[in-house]
């Protein structure tokens, strides 16, 4: 029986063998061109030309490498639908049908291998119960994250005070005033969270409870997912719950909570499996 690797490990490998070489190529080509043009007293446009050239090289590398990663990942990961969803979230691959997906370079051998994997790709994802998950999980604010935010707020306040008392320009006075308001507001908001000892999310085999809301049974939820939203450094993970029939929609920022997105996803899958077992047992 084949041993599969986790979706997370496959994504990490993809980011390593795809994104890292792309970064290296994009840096090395212009740097090399600059050094050579400086040493041999070549025209400056040599360095300028190297930028589009490095872009073309990175695109060619990606076009071949992403195909090899896809085939390897589809072969070695059991839950291929989850894999593709996570890979799109991490900007590792493009959504199906995207115009850039057409720039992938598939050899005849690659296409034949993909055809062999078609049955596996059409299979439904399978999730296993994690027996280490307790009967009830309570998720609180992450104290370490909040304390970091408090330090940042104090730094902003310090900059605001420094600018106010050490600069005479009226424009800087206005900036210092705005910074002071931002720093004071974020400090107050995060200080309140340090006093909040209530669980923000409670999960068990019956359902999920968001703070100040009633418990939502698992069978009342059409969609529950952890989604990466935003771009580059501003991206955040959110827990999204949705059910149109019961008019349920919740979107919870996970950056302030003590559970990582991967851990929370595992907990949710386990409780949903336990709920289904309970339902079957009581039919």
- The pLDDT, as a whole number, for residue 3 is 81
Contact 14, 31 (CB under 8 A): no
The confidence score (pLDDT) of residue 242 equals 85
d(CA 74, CA 86): 13
Where would I find the beta strands (DSSP E) of 170-255? 201-204, 207-210, 216-217, 223-229, 236-243, 248-253
Q: Are 194 and 145 in contact (CB under 8 A)?
A: no
**pTM exceeds 0.85, yes or no:** no
The answer to whether the beta carbons of residues 181 and 189 sit under 8 Å apart is no
pLDDT tens readout for residues 117-161: 988 888 888 888 999 999 999 999 999 999 999 999 999 999 999
Spatial separation of the C-alpha atoms in residues 274 and 133, rounded to whole Å: 11
pLDDT at 64 exceeding the cut of 90 = yes
Strand duo 248-253 + 236-243: pairing = antiparallel
**pLDDT interval class at 243 (50, 70, 90):** confident
Average pLDDT over residues 85-106: 89
- Mean pLDDT of the chain, nearest integer: 89
């Amino acid at each position: 029986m084949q041993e599969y690797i986790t979706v997370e490990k496959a994504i990490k490998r993809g980011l390593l063998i795809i994104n890292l070489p792309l970064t290296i190529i994009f840096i090395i080509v212009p740097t090399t061109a600059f050094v050579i043009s400086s040493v041999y007293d070549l025209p400056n446009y040599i360095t300028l030309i190297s930028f589009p050239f490095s872009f073309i090289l990175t695109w060619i590398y990606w076009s071949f490498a992403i195909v090899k990663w896809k085939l390897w990942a589809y072969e070695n990961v059991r839950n291929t639908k989850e894999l593709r969803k996570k890979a799109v979230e991490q900007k590792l691959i493009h959504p199906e049908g995207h115009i850039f997906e057409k720039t992938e370079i598939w050899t005849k051998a690659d296409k034949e291998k993909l055809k062999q994997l078609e049955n596996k790709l059409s299979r439904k994802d399978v999730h296993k119960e994690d027996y280490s998950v307790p009967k009830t999980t309570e998720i609180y604010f992450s104290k370490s994250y909040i304390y970091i935010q408090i330090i940042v707020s104090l730094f902003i306040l310090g900059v605001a005070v420094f600018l106010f008392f050490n600069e005479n320009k009226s424009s800087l006075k206005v900036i210092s005033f705005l910074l002071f308001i931002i720093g004071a507001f974020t400090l107050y908001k995060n200080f309140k969270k340090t006093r909040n000892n209530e669980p923000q999310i409670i999960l068990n085999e019956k359902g999920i409870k968001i703070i100040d809301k009633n418990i939502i049974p698992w069978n009342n939820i059409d969609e529950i997912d952890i989604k990466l939203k935003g771009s580059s450094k501003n991206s955040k993970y959110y827990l999204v719950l949705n059910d149109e029939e019961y008019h349920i929609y919740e979107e919870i920022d996970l950056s302030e909570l003590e559970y990582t997105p991967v851990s929370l996803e595992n907990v949710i899958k386990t409780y949903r499996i336990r709920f289904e077992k309970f339902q079957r047992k009581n039919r």
